[in-house]
Amino acid sequence: MPTPSALTTSALVILGASGDLARRMLLPSLYNLDADGLLPAGLSIVGVARSDMDADAWRQEVRELLQAREPIDETVWARFAERLDYCAGDVTKPEGAACLKGRVDGRRPLVIFFSLSPSLYTAACASLKAGGVITDSTRLVLEKPIGRDLETSRSINAAVAAVADESNVFRIDHYLGKETVQNLIALRFANSLFEPLWTSQTIDHVQITVAETQAVGDRWPYYDDYGAIRDMLQNHMLQLLCLVAMEPPSDLEPDAVRNEKVKVLRSLRPFDRASAQHDSVRGQYGPGMVEGEKASSYEAEVGRPSQTETFVALTAHVDNWRWAGVPFFLRTGKRMPERRTEIVIQFKPVPHSIFGGAAQGDLVANRLVIELQPDEDISLTVMNKRPGLGDVRLQSMPLSLSLKSLGEDGGRRRIAYERLLLDALRGDQTLFVRRDEIEAAWAFVDGVADAWTEAGMTPKPYPAGSWGPAGAFALIERSGRAWN
Ligand code: NDP
Ligand code: BG6
């Protein structure tokens, strides 16, 4: 963690301060950082939205939302409340920009967090630049989705590039702020054990699962236009894949890491009509039971028929020397039976077994499981002998590194945005997505979406509370493998 003295930012603006993301993630994260003494003295936090209220009313709103999460520490609150300011205005209009300029003038450098609908990014950038709020040193933090496809992503990126240098643009993928995701980098590059084994010589395949129990719910107006492939695969899942598959960067400098991730994205084998039919599955939840409760269908939430997928599984191939012949099985869905995010590295079996009899059948190949949610855990299964004097029998046991109890503050699980906000305040872009990276990810996803259209693939129904359509099992099983 950086020390507060390393921070020089004097104002953080949250555009969309009354929205869901700001209330659930950004403001609680900032409060937590303040509680830990990690925000610089004098940093002011300026909320912006069209809702008409003054700074006192906003402070009260923020206090209530924090209190609804956990008891408030009055000393921390007094310090935090002092930082909060509010500007009521439309950021796409000159009046909105003028109001904000009045609040942040003289405060430099400045970080502006776009917690707004991305459809407003272009107009907001232009208006804030014209109004003198965005200057050469202003950092812009942009939420996903940046575009709906490569073309729209390019257009937003171009509008942002017109007002800010890439070195000042921080594109968020909140998965990169998760502790275990960062731990993946440590696991791979701080241990001499794994890297020599991290190739097609020893790895049979990789699985990445991001399963959620929650429904799409009220977010359907956004979601129905995007679906699982654009909401989850284009960003979070491809980022996880990149961190597993990338070559060792020369150091942890932002561009060293991001250069390696871009190479992975550009090595992804494009989908065509035939591979889409063979290597991908779209699903949409129907009614069912989730965690013991009756759950309605996606279409019931939307209120009309929909062809949007709430589940996607696909086999990705990274066409380079390291990964030739190693499939990456990815799946993500809403309304799954449990919340589970994990990366599984399945090693190959031993090349020759010296064990006979029953022990021969006991042999299981090693498996490294990196669990991100609900618990943070890294576990490696290794074979060992069952204790006893009888015939040799083997068993597979996990060597487990539970990360839950290792936190610096007694295990409080940080919100991923805490790390990302702090990094944006420090100007460290390592955990943010570069323009060419996001565009390479869109190019891959566009290819999948186009192939689905060409192949006429519509989502297959699956009951809420199940692991997706039957095709998702067939996808992996026809190669002789199974989901973890
Ligand atoms: P909401 O719709 O809940 O909030 C939008 C906010 O923007 C509100 O505060 C709204 O307030 C404000 N706003 C809208 N138009 C203007 C305008 N012209 N000028 C100033 N303020 C305006 O959205 P979310 O918080 O859910 O999402 C924000 C961003 O975060 C989006 O990019 C979204 O894709 C992304 N995101 C959100 C996630 C989530 O869990 N919510 C998850 C991942 C990404 P008012 O109406 O008063 O102006
Ligand atoms: C968001 C998606 O980016 O990530 C949501 O828009 C999804 O649909 C969420 O629910 C999952 O994040 P997490 O951190 O809960 O796994």
Domains assigned to the chain: 11-143 (3.40.50.720), 196-413+429-478 (3.30.360.10)
**Ligand 1 atom with least separation from CA of 142:** 32
Average pLDDT of span 151-155 = 97
Q: Is 143 near ligand 1, meaning CB less than 6 Å away?
A: yes
* Predicted ipTM of the assembly: 0.98
Q: Is 218 near ligand 1, meaning CB less than 6 Å away?
A: no
pLDDT, residue 161, reads: 98
Q: How far apart are CA 421 and CA 414, in angstroms?
A: 12
pLDDT, residue 19, reads: 94
Q: How far apart are CA 169 and CA 111, in angstroms?
A: 10
Q: Which of 29, 143, 146, 174 to mutate to test the pocket of ligand 2 (most atoms within 8 A of CB)?
A: 174
Average pLDDT of span 107-116 = 92
Do 94 and 131 touch, CB atoms closer than 8 A? yes
Q: Is 236 a catalytic residue?
A: yes
> What's the DSSP call for residue 322?
T
pLDDT, residue 407, reads: 56
Binding residues for NADP(+): 16-23, 50, 90-91, 144
Binding residues for substrate: 174, 178, 212, 231, 334
pLDDT tens figures, 185-220 = 999 999 999 999 999 999 999 999 999 999 999 999
pLDDT, residue 404, reads: 65
pLDDT, residue 406, reads: 59
pLDDT, residue 9, reads: 55
**Cβ neighbour number for residue 255 with a 10 Å cutoff:** 16
**Ligand 1 atom with least separation from CA of 21:** 25
pTM of structure: 0.95
Average pLDDT of span 22-47 = 96
Q: Which of 102-116, 217-231, 277-291 has the lowest mean pLDDT?
A: 102-116
Average pLDDT of span 458-471 = 98
Do 444 and 238 touch, CB atoms closer than 8 A? yes
pLDDT, residue 409, reads: 52
Q: Which of 29, 46, 50 to mutate to test the pocket of ligand 1 (most atoms within 8 A of CB)?
A: 50
302 CA distance to ligand 2 middle (Å):
19
**Ligand 1 atom with least separation from CA of 222:** 34
Q: Which of 66-70, 105-109, 147-151, 347-351 has the lowest mean pLDDT?
A: 105-109
Q: Which ligand is nearest to the CA of 230?
A: 2
Do 368 and 380 touch, CB atoms closer than 8 A? yes
**Cβ neighbour number for residue 350 with a 10 Å cutoff:** 12
Confidence class of residue 411 from pLDDT cuts 50, 70 and 90? low
pLDDT, residue 414, reads: 87
Q: Taking 60 as the threshold, does the pLDDT of residue 109 lie above it? A: yes
Whole-number percent of the chain with pLDDT over 90: 90
49 CA distance to ligand 1 middle (Å):
9
Q: Taking 90 as the threshold, does the pLDDT of residue 108 lie above it? A: no
The residue with greater pLDDT, 404 or 224, is 224
Confidence class of residue 106 from pLDDT cuts 50, 70 and 90? confident
Options 236, 278, 317, 352, the catalytic residue: 236
Strand partners, 282: 312
Q: State the average pLDDT for the chain.
A: 94
Q: Taking 90 as the threshold, does the pLDDT of residue 292 lie above it? A: yes
